[in-house]
Structure 1
Amino acid sequence: MKKFLETIKNIWSIEDLRARIITTLGLLLVYRLGSYVVLPGVDSTMLEAANANNSGGGLLDLINIFAGGAFSRASIFALGIMPYISASIVIQLLGMAIPYFQRLQKEGESGRRKINQITRFLTIIITAFQAPGYIASQITTHQGVVPNDGPMWWFSTVLLLITGTMFVMWIGERITEKGIGNGISLLIMIGIVANLPSAFVFEIASRFGIGGVGGPIVLLIEVALLLFVVVLSILLVQGTRRIPVQYAKRIVGNKQYGGVRQYIPLKVNAAGVMPIIFAQAIMFIPLTLAGFGEGGVTSWFVTTFSNPNSFAYNLTFALMIIAFTYFYTAVTVNPNQMADEMKRNGGFVPGIKPGKKTAEFIDNVMSRITLPGSIFLALVAILPAFAMLGGVNQAFAYFYGGTSLLIMVGVILDTLQQIESHLLMRHYDGLMKTGKIKGRSSTGMGMAG
């Protein structure tokens, strides 16, 4: 405890780090307060009553978790940062296939600014398409929620939702630039964490309240299992396979360069949380099709794949995550480029010929470690369904795995890494006794920033 208090004192004594932390907390507070500002013309009391009578389904609850509750409250931040995430994913995919975006990625800072500008414009377009759909499906569909829903109200509400999303994006960028951690990832995480206290209170009430089942023993077991899953998720995030690389000796003047052994850390989960996001986006399609077709095969398909607890949903979800993990890893990790850079710098893997043989070796290693990594990622993604089957309430079960847990673990570890870097740079002890937190190099579990 004394060590912890001393670390907090060291953090607060660094002026730059203190200013960054205060800026981050202030901007996150603005985001949370904005999530409670209801759109003009919406009767919040009627909307709350309508939401209470209509559970909305598991997928809508999942969307609401990412928005920190703003989605169900019809807030000005109802669409949150997700349109920006969607735009970033689109730009990232375009960078894999279109030469123009590939050139921008190689142009350094100027190319990055152009990509950010394009991403912002694409965010506006995506939000402009999502906003009317959100209004029609979640607000005006309830009687009495909007007393006067004329054309002017529609126009102003769509404009407000677009403005809200752009303001949230601006908050995320300011946190990244002036604060601590990755701003976009922190906004997603704070929205997820905001639901944890109420979900835990509901779980306690279900165990100790009137008609409660299980009592304190079951609650303690649930908390212990949650901590165990968190530890496993940390292992998944930090797990690496180190490939030794030997560099040839070079003598320049009176100095010797190279001749040392270094390591290439290949992450077990190089794709981060992106496979779950891609798979989840596709699993939202049945919810979109819910309004089309009645009865027969269409009705069975929509009913089955709109239920996150069904066997078919979770099996399909897990297989898609495994496939997307291989796809995203193949796109982000380029063995040929790694082999060429090693050869150019006089490095080689012991026992492996430089060049093509090294690329094949790295590719084989990545294929082997990606399989268990993808399977484990799929298991973590479907754990909430098992938790709900075990009697855990739906809100609390979402923290047992899936995108929520992985994003929280990745963002928290990355933020701690940045804080520790500030401490070590000024010759303070790190957050851990060893003075170094190992295994963390990804930013926000691959989330776009």
Structure 2
Amino acid sequence: MLTTIRNAWKIPELRRKLLFTLVIILLYRIGNVIPVPGVNVQQMSLMFSQQLSNTIFGLFDMMSGSAFSQATIFALSIQPYINASIIIQLLTIAIPALERLSKEGGEEGKKKLTKITRYTTVGLGVLMGFAYYIMLSNYNSQYSNMLLTSTGFLTALVIILTFTAGSTLVMWLGDQISEHGIGNGISMILFANIIARIPSGIITPIFNNLKSNFGGFWYWALLLIVAMLAIIVFIVFVSQAERRIPVQYAKRVVGRKVYGGQNTHLPIKVNMSGVMPIIFAQSIASLPATICAFGGWTSNWAYKHMFTSTSVIYTVIYLILIVGFSYFYATIQYNPVEVANNLKKNGGFIPGFRPGRPTADFIRKVINKVTLFGAIYLGIIAVLPVLLGTIMSNTRFSFGGTSIIIVVSVALETVAAIEAQMLMRNYSGFLEK
């Protein structure tokens, strides 16, 4: 990875793209620490750590690089855009007009869907900004009216519009990286947010806990570093793993030429749904804790022993939801009947299976097996930080399976994008140097 980036730096055009990406990320990080007018940042951070860190807002805070818990102008970060993208993606399956735009509209159809997604992002930004202000108002009285430095309609309007403008600006910054920089802009912003949380969210709590509760500090620290590297290697291996179904194409004679006859394969990725099952599962599993936090019921027995992220019941529900959403995403992303029909139209077949329904049934069976392995993999990665925090005297880390997989996946995608740019410029031998 470092070799690829170093060689890309030698090419002027790629160097400009890398610098542009770094400048946009720097501007985003500067905006991430500018507070919203009318909010006491210190009291907000204290309230968040005491009341909301175990709820779904803990996930929002991680994905915003601590901006959500500090009420900065980028507190909503890219959450409105991600939610809008998911909503439009699901509506594309349910609404025929949107489905025609995505499949038959070509480049113009994609532009229309992008415009719809952006408008939806602005609408969700207003809605989430309003919800954030309502949350501040509800907790303001518990903290001696110190969360909000002023109240009233004008203050509410400024806070809501600032949050909305911040989320819209983040969407624009991500588009600029995608258009003029390297890699996917939204993924790069997510990557920057998670990396920014590593010192305070991972290194500090882990090493402080090891130093105070375990003997042989350096021994345990070294063992922990080796374990983290092993997890990263495992994620890289599974992210690139795929099940290849052999496919043969029959020979066709057109005039005096013979077409087809080659052997190829149908790739099915082990983790075709990416990190989305973890995000959805964490959102739903954290819903009871979120409701308790809004209602002020954080001191009851159910919240402490059932709804917190360190409880056994939460962990079991979390795993079941991950498996369920993995199969859901595999179903909407991969249609075995459509794949079988395309193979049949192009003269292709899977050895040992007749074209049509038998081929579709075989592909569906393979997808179910592969998806099960991918769901187990996601479950292990998602639950591992929870188990680690329980073992280490209920230490809570501000990272989880979502952040680990996002960081590794974005790093792999960025390196692949850089290598593709270099190959386009016929830069020979960069992989060997």
* Normalised TM-score (structure 1): 0.87
How many residue pairs get aligned? The number is 426
Q: Deviations over 1:121-148 (max 9, x none)?
A: 2222222222122233247624323221
Verify: 1:181 aligned to 2:188, yes or no.
no
Bigger shift: residues 417-426 or 9-18: 9-18
| SS of aligned partner of 1:352 | coil
Verify: 1:238 aligned to 2:240, yes or no.
yes
> For residues 62 and 395 of structure 2, what CA distance do their matches in structure 1 show?
11
Report the Cα offset of residue 8 of structure 1: 4.3
Q: Deviations over 1:230-287 (max 9, x none)?
A: 1111122111000111112234456543221111110111111111111122123213
| Unmatched runs of 5 consecutive residues or more in structure 1 | 436-449
Q: Structure 1 residues 51, 95: closer, same or farther in 2, change over 3 A? A: closer
Q: Structure 1 residues 430, 410: closer, same or farther in 2, change over 3 A? A: farther
- Preserved contact between residue 277 and residue 326 of structure 2 (Cα < 8 Å): yes
1:74 counterpart (51, 71, 76): 71
Equivalence for 1:118: 116
Q: Structure 1 residues 309, 23: closer, same or farther in 2, change over 3 A? A: same
**Identity rate, percent:** 38
> For residues 255 and 404 of structure 2, what CA distance do their matches in structure 1 show?
54
Aligned counterparts, 1:186-335, within 5 A: 186-198=188-200, 199-208=202-211, 214-252=216-254, 255-290=257-292, 301-335=302-336
> For residues 30 and 62 of structure 1, what CA distance do their matches in structure 2 show?
23
Equivalence for 2:352: 351
> For residues 165 and 239 of structure 1, what CA distance do their matches in structure 2 show?
35
Q: Deviations over 1:170-224 (max 9, x none)?
A: 111111121111111121121111111233144334434x777541111111111
Q: Structure 1 residues 213, 96: closer, same or farther in 2, change over 3 A? A: farther
- Preserved contact between residue 182 and residue 418 of structure 2 (Cα < 8 Å): yes
1:58 counterpart (46, 54, 62): 54
- Preserved contact between residue 68 and residue 76 of structure 2 (Cα < 8 Å): yes
Equivalence for 1:441: none
Report the Cα offset of residue 425 of structure 1: 2.5
Report the Cα offset of residue 10 of structure 1: 2.9
Aligned-CA RMSD value: 2.7
Q: Deviations over 1:323-371 (max 9, x none)?
A: 1111110110011111111112121111211122211111111111111
Q: Structure 1 residues 173, 389: closer, same or farther in 2, change over 3 A? A: same
Equivalence for 1:43: 40
Report the Cα offset of residue 299 of structure 1: 5.4
1:93 counterpart (90, 93, 98): 90
Equivalence for 1:134: 132
- Preserved contact between residue 57 and residue 307 of structure 1 (Cα < 8 Å): no
- Preserved contact between residue 24 and residue 175 of structure 1 (Cα < 8 Å): yes
> For residues 183 and 20 of structure 1, what CA distance do their matches in structure 2 show?
12
Report the Cα offset of residue 25 of structure 1: 1.1
Equivalence for 2:339: 338
- Preserved contact between residue 88 and residue 119 of structure 1 (Cα < 8 Å): yes
Aligned counterparts, 1:20-39, within 5 A: 20-39=17-36
| SS of aligned partner of 2:173 | helix
Equivalence for 1:163: 165
| Unmatched runs of 5 consecutive residues or more in structure 2 | none
